[in-house]
Amino acid sequence: MYKIVEAVEEKLIGFQNDLSIPVNVKLSYCQDSNVQSSGDVVISGKGEYISNITANGSIYFMQERSVARGGSLNAKNEIKCRIVGSTAGVATKLKVEKGGHIWIDEAYQNTVLLVGNREYVLDTPSRGVHAYLENSGDIIVDKLKL
């Protein structure tokens, strides 16, 4: 009887995770926060500081000079940022799943890019950053020096 109850509970947990409705989160600014969304996270204002943001879809920074400074951004599909890190080298981590893409207009040293299980750390300020996995599974980071 115990095994049957345990099996049913496991199935219920699986259904709860599979049946979540994607809900987008839109915010202007956050600091020292934890934000989670079953859909996309859209940041329309100044950006995020030392926050942990997780999206089951994508993360988008809409304002031209919005920043991601410190903390971590985790998305399933893609992350599109304007400015990541700072000249002081504040550690900021951006992660997408295996088939995802990371796009950054301007990134500073100590920015950590993770695509799937591959990691790349920027050592110089860069612009036009695009990180993704190629067919062989290696991480590719296209960038220009700032």
Domain ranges for the chain, please list them. 22-145
Report the C-alpha gap between 23 and 25 in whole angstroms.
7
pTM for the whole structure: 0.86
pLDDT tens track of the chain, all 146 residues?
667 778 777 776 666 656 568 889 999 999 999 999 999 999 999 999 999 999 999 999 999 999 999 999 999 999 999 999 999 999 999 999 999 999 999 999 999 999 999 999 999 999 999 999 999 999 999 999 98
Cβ neighbours of residue 68 closer than 8 Å, sequence gap 6 or more = 47, 48, 61, 81, 83, 84, 85, 92, 94
Check residue 132 and give its pLDDT: 97
Check residue 10 and give its pLDDT: 78
Alpha-carbon dihedral angle through residues 126, 35, 39, 97, given to the nearest 10 degrees: 50
What is the assigned CATH class of domain 22-145?
mainly beta
